[in-house]
Structure 1
Amino acid sequence: MLYPAPTLGPADDQVLGEIDGLRDALRHQIQTTSPKRTDGLRKFLTADAVAASNSIEGFKVSTIDVQDLMTGERDVEVSDENREETLAYQRMMTYIQTLHDAEDFSYSKGLLNALHWMLQGHRHTVRKPAGQWRRGPVYVTDARDPSIAAYTAPGAEGVPALMNELIGWLNAADGAHPLVRAAMAHLHLVSIHPWADGNGRMSRSLQTLMIAREGVLAPEFSSVEAWLGRPGNTWEYYRELSDRGATYLPDQDVSSWIRFNLTAYHQQAQTVQGRLDRSGRVWGALAEFTESTGLDERVVSALHDVAMAGRVRRSRYEQAEGLSLQQAQRDLRDLTTAQVLEPVGRTRARYYRAGSRFPQSALDIAGTPMTLRNPYTS
């Protein structure tokens, strides 16, 4: 038995309508913004989702380091374990993004287990098999005392039937809003806990896939994983899950879970909109700066990375502008000579940050925080 979807109240319907409006406006803005700028935002959002979802499970890698790892940088100061987890999650996320418009798509045991292998294959053991339903019990332990089970998942013998029911539900249309269905899918999967490990990230990824399949926004703009990874939101996330009980009790009202997810959708849309607006203003300030100083306009993308993320590496700039190694090196050397950028580190590990003559106006715009509103209380 799966959790029954709750009936939405008037406040929920209003928030859902606002979310639809925000996402439609964001889609229009993305379509009318230059690909060079939106490509950078897509990569940032993917890296942010990977960093956040992994951080919930204790793998701490900053978004900027994830971006560097995604571009193939090897000299990133992260542990081997964190590197492996980051790249595994990024590979799975990349595949999920390609499925957003796949024809003849359907959910299946094979698809879910293949995604799990991408995520956990590097940890495969007989005791904790990757890409297969678990063969024994699994517990979520209390963060304060690992000897206490905060949640005990259904017995392994019941997992195949529960997953068959879930897959049937995923492939059936029930008339519910796609965002509500995606939130319910997350809850169903994380409660069944069908694998020995990786259940939280798989559940969040399934939610991302379902939102992406909806087709309103490109997959990179669809995930709420970055929102869930913020410390206060992570605590609320755990609280919502713990409120479901210490064992699998699907015959209950899960309205608060839906409200939690609608808040996540709403605030993540606000966040992406704010970052896109701020990115555009930073780009404009940097374009004015390069024009007034006689710099080639292509260096704006490198300066934009520095303003928005704090640093740029030669490989990122080279890929963003389609330059040769020599061209990228020459541009960054010229910017260093002009004291617009300042190099940090040596040889392959080198990156560049703002120098003494970097335009302060761009840094001020990039550093201005935005305010998020709670759609249920504002």
Structure 2
Amino acid sequence: MLFPTPRLSPDDERVLAEIDAAREGLRLAVRSTPTKWTDGLRRFLTADAVAASNSIEGFRVSTVDVADLMDGEKDVEISDENREETLAYQRMMTYIQSLHDAPDFAYSKGFLNALHWMLQGHRNSPRKPAGRWRPGAVYVTDARDPSIAAYTAPPAGDVPDLMAELVDWLNESDGSHPVVRAAMAHLHLVSIHPWADGNGRMSRSLQTLLTARSGILAPEFSSVEAWLGRPGNTWEYYRVLGDRGSTYQPDQDVADWVRFNLTASHQQTQSVQRRMERSARALVELDGFASREGWDARVVTALHDVALTGRVRRARYQHAESLSVQQAQRDLRDLVAVGVLRSVGRTRARYYAPGDEFPESALEVARTPFSLVDPYKGSA
């Protein structure tokens, strides 16, 4: 038995309508923005989702370090464990993103287990097998006292039938809104807890996949994983899951879970909108700066990355502008020579950060925080 999808309140319907309108606006904005700039935002948002979802499980890597790893950088100063977890999750997320418009797609037990292998294969062991249902009991322990089981998942013997029911549910539309349906998929999977490890990230990824396959917006712009990874939201996430009870009790009203996820979708969409606006404003400032200095317009790509993320690496700039290694190095050295950038680190670990002559107006645009509105309260 799975949780029944709750009836939506008038407030829920209003929030869903606002999400739809905002995402349609984002879709049109992305279509009208040069690919070079939206690609940078896609990269950042994917890195942010990976960093946030992993941080919920205790693997802490900054968004900018995740982005560097995604670009193939080897000399990123993080632990081997965090590197492995980041790359595994990024590979799985990249695959999930590629499925947003895949034809002839269907969910299956094998598909879900394959995703789990992508996430956990590097940790495969007899006690915690990757890509296979768990062989025994599994517990979610209390964050403050690991001797207390905050949640005990259904018996291992029930998992195959519960997952068969979930797969059938995933493949048969029930007419609910895609955002609601994605939230329910997350709840179903995390409550069944079918694997020995990685259940939280798998459940959040499944939510991302369902949202993306609704066709409204590309997965990079619609995932709520980054929102869930904000510390205050993470604790609320645990709380609302904890309200489901300490054992699997699917015959209950989960309207609060749906409302929590509608808030997440609404505020994450707000966040993406603000980031797009900020990116565009910084670009205007940097275009004007480069023009006044008489530089080639291509250097704006490097300056834009530095303004928005705090740094740029040679390989990233080279790839973005289709340059040779020598040309990319020359451009960055020239920017260092005039004090616009400063070089940090040596050889392959080198990156470039704002120098004393970096345009302050662009940094101010990039560093000014934005606020988010609670769609149910009308304030941040």
TM over 0.5: yes
TM-score by length of 1: 1.00
Partner SS, residue 100 of structure 2: helix
1:114 equivalenced with 2:111 (yes/no): no
Residue number in structure 2 paired with 1:38: 38
For 1:301 and 1:113, how far apart are their aligned partners in 2? Answer: 40
How many residues get paired? 378
What's the CA shift string for 1:22-41, capped at 9, x where partnerless?
00001000100111100000
Partner SS, residue 106 of structure 1: coil
For 1:346 and 1:80, how far apart are their aligned partners in 2? Answer: 21
Partner SS, residue 101 of structure 1: coil
1:238 equivalenced with 2:233 (yes/no): no
For 2:331 and 2:375, how far apart are their aligned partners in 1? Answer: 46
For 1:346 and 1:103, how far apart are their aligned partners in 2? Answer: 46
What residue identity is the alignment partner of 1:68?
Answer: D
Give the drift of 1:110.
0.9
Shift >2 Å, 4+ stretches: none
Alignment map for 1:112-191 (pairs within 5 Å): 112-191=112-191
Residue number in structure 1 paired with 2:322: 322
What residue identity is the alignment partner of 1:212?
Answer: A
For 2:65 and 2:257, how far apart are their aligned partners in 1? Answer: 32
1:25 equivalenced with 2:25 (yes/no): yes
Residue number in structure 1 paired with 2:247: 247
1:362 equivalenced with 2:350 (yes/no): no
Please report the RMSD computed on the Cα atoms of aligned residues, expressed in angstroms: 0.5
Residue number in structure 2 paired with 1:11: 11
Residue number in structure 2 paired with 1:90: 90
Alignment map for 1:34-113 (pairs within 5 Å): 34-113=34-113
Give the drift of 1:220.
1.0
What's the CA shift string for 1:226-250, capped at 9, x where partnerless?
0000000000000010000000000
For 2:81 and 2:338, how far apart are their aligned partners in 1? Answer: 39
For 1:67 and 1:135, how far apart are their aligned partners in 2? Answer: 35
Residue number in structure 2 paired with 1:227: 227
Unaligned runs of 5+ in 2: none
Give the drift of 1:348.
0.8
For 2:31 and 2:373, how far apart are their aligned partners in 1? Answer: 25
What's the CA shift string for 1:286-306, capped at 9, x where partnerless?
000000001111010100111
What's the CA shift string for 1:13-68, capped at 9, x where partnerless?
00000000000001000100111100000000000000000000000000000000
TM-score by length of 2: 0.99
Residue number in structure 2 paired with 1:347: 347
Unaligned runs of 5+ in 1: none
What's the CA shift string for 1:292-351, capped at 9, x where partnerless?
001111010100111100111111111111111101000000000011000011111111
Give the drift of 1:358.
0.4
For 2:256 and 2:43, how far apart are their aligned partners in 1? Answer: 32
Fraction of identical pairs, as percent: 72
